[in-house]
Amino acid sequence: MLLYERFLGRPFATHRDSVSELVGEVMENEVEEQLRNAGISFRKTKRAERVEGFDQAPDFIIPDEWNPRVVLEAKITEDDGTARDKVTRIQHLAEISRRHRLQGETDFQVIACIDGRGFGVRREDMRKLLKATQGKVFTLKTLDRLIESTGLQAFKSR
């Protein structure tokens, strides 16, 4: 694949970059479906949206941005650079939550819903991810356990 990309040059990379966002949305759509089916109120942020209290808005905030109790990042990626960036974002969210707790403010649980080869090739980053989320990492195969295995169950209405 690398040789083919080099042969085609930037046009192939441009195409790959344009479809990677669509691939990433698969996980977001699945998470959204899980939340809706459980009757959980949530705020799904838009790309590059500014949300007060977050220098980079998480993909989902439960129940809303004024009272974040659970924040969730969702991504499917086939390249390790994007996976590395997502892990860094999740670690940063965990640090914000920790700061809230230390300052006597209400903290929030950080959850990662990830999948794809990009995460599989970065073992050390996976270790960091598991530590930052306190083990709250889900894939497409385990997403059916998202609600019952996290703080989301407190927001369930059905």
pLDDT in tens, 59-105: 999 999 999 999 999 999 888 888 889 999 999 999 999 999 999 99
Please report the pLDDT score of residue 114 as a whole number.
Answer: 93
Is 3 inside a domain boundary? no
Whether residue 12 lies inside any domain: the answer is no
Identify whether 10 is part of a domain. no
Residue 13 lies in a domain: no
Asked if pLDDT for residue 149 goes beyond 60, the answer is: yes
Give the mean model confidence (pLDDT) for residues 136-151: 96
Q: Say if 60 falls within a structural domain.
A: yes
- What is the average pLDDT score of the chain? 87
Spatial CA neighbour of 126 closest among 90, 73, 74, 151: 90
- Over residues 52-71, the pLDDT tens digits come to 889 889 999 999 999 999 99
Residue 36, in any domain of the structure = yes
Asked, for residue 14, whether it belongs to a domain, the answer is: no
Distances (CA, A) of 65 to 35, 71, 118, 133: 16, 9, 29, 19
Q: How many structural domains comprise the chain?
A: 1
CB 68 within 8 A of CB 109: no
Domain encompassing residue 137:
24-155
119: left (phi over 0), alpha (psi -120 to 50) or beta: alpha
Give the mean model confidence (pLDDT) for residues 33-45: 96
Which comes out higher in pLDDT, residue 50 or 20? Answer: 50
**Entry pTM:** 0.83
**Within-domain flag for 16:** no
Sign of CA dihedral 150, 151, 154, 158: negative
Confidence of residue 14 (pLDDT cuts 50, 70, 90): low
